[in-house]
Amino acid sequence: MQLLLTTSHSFLLLNTINGELHLLHRGRGLYYGIARHGDKLYVAARNRLVSSNVAQKDEHGEILIFDRALQPCGTLDAPFPLRDLHEIAWHDGKLWVTCSFDNMIAIFDGEHWERWYPLGVSEGEPSDVNHFNSFMFDPDRIWILAHNHGDSELLAYTLATRELAQRMAMGRCGHNIWRENGQILSCSSLEGKLLGEHGLSIETGGFPRGVAFDSDTRCVGISELAERDIRDLTTGKVMVFDKNWKLRNEISLPGEGLILDLMPLPQGFGVSGEKKSAWSKLAGFFR
């Protein structure tokens, strides 16, 4: 699989078969959510590391835009601070952006930005009560993962009215939501496992966050468990499974810090031959 991924320091392209790694962007970390809309890719960049001296309340993130050749071609900036950016997603012509510091979802319709507080506005700072960090869309609903700094839950809202329609307990310090074989799954990051609503449990170890699939491969990002001030200095890895969750290999990323989001490279996107030589290396590769 050709895999896009974001880390504490970089936006990267990884070949999960041979471990070849290409640097696409660096210097605006932490990088987080990745989304595709038309012929562009969108990547959330916090402009601040976990270990930064910049206070989280002063963070001002942005959305970087990349073309089909994976070259930067613009940015999106909101009229209010985008703080503690996590997953982003395009749905029905709108960009949805998790802003965990403010317990808020930012929504961009192509012209205007809106702030949505799914569980109401929190009083005072820090206002990060539920740590909203992930989305999943159904035809008439949006699912939002509330990490809750502990016991996590999935919240389903109607897209038409944004009324809360369902809530479901799922894991601890959770990230990511997806559906397969008739059940909803999520990463129970603090427990080092993937969980399904009907009892599926897959041990990964570490801190799983970021999941990507193609027809026969599943990839999960794994960060090291570490104290906050050294998380940017750690070595994460990508675990590569077959479609039945049998481990094929692991690919380590020394010095990249946290692994934050994964996405299969969309068809029609890629680094051109002359640009591949700009920066590439082999990641640590273990079978």
Number of domains in the chain: 1
The two tokens of residue 116 are 């949505």
Phi-psi region of 92 (alpha: psi -120 to 50; beta: other; left: phi over 0): left
User: 45 lies in a domain?
Assistant: yes
Please tell me which residue, 266 or 229, carries the higher pLDDT value. 266
User: 259 lies in a domain?
Assistant: yes
Which of 194, 212, 211 minimizes the C-alpha distance to 203? 194
User: 230 lies in a domain?
Assistant: yes
Please tell me which residue, 287 or 283, carries the higher pLDDT value. 283
User: Taking the model in full, what pTM does it have?
Assistant: 0.94
Residue 33's domain comprises: 2-131+179-188+204-286
pLDDT, residue 105, reads: 98
Please tell me which residue, 273 or 195, carries the higher pLDDT value. 195
Mean pLDDT, residues 172-179 taken together: 97
pLDDT, residue 161, reads: 96
In the structure, what pLDDT confidence band is assigned to residue 51 with cuts at 50, 70 and 90? confident
Q: Is the torsion defined by CA of 68, 74, 77, 83 positive or negative?
A: positive
Cα distances (Å, whole numbers) of residue 255 to 10, 235, 237, 287: 10, 5, 11, 21
User: 199 lies in a domain?
Assistant: no
Q: What is the pLDDT of residues 206-262, one digit of tens each?
A: 999 999 999 899 999 999 988 877 888 889 999 999 999 999 999 999 999 999 999
User: Tell me, what amino acid is at 34?
Assistant: I
The two tokens of residue 55 are 């206070």
User: 165 lies in a domain?
Assistant: no
* % of residues, the chain, pLDDT over 70: 94
User: 108 lies in a domain?
Assistant: yes
Q: What is the pLDDT of residues 95-113, one digit of tens each?
A: 999 999 999 999 999 999 9
Q: CATH no. for residue 48?
A: 2.120.10
User: 166 lies in a domain?
Assistant: no
User: 162 lies in a domain?
Assistant: no
Which of 110, 70, 62 minimizes the C-alpha distance to 88? 62
Cα gap 276→287, rounded to integer Å: 25
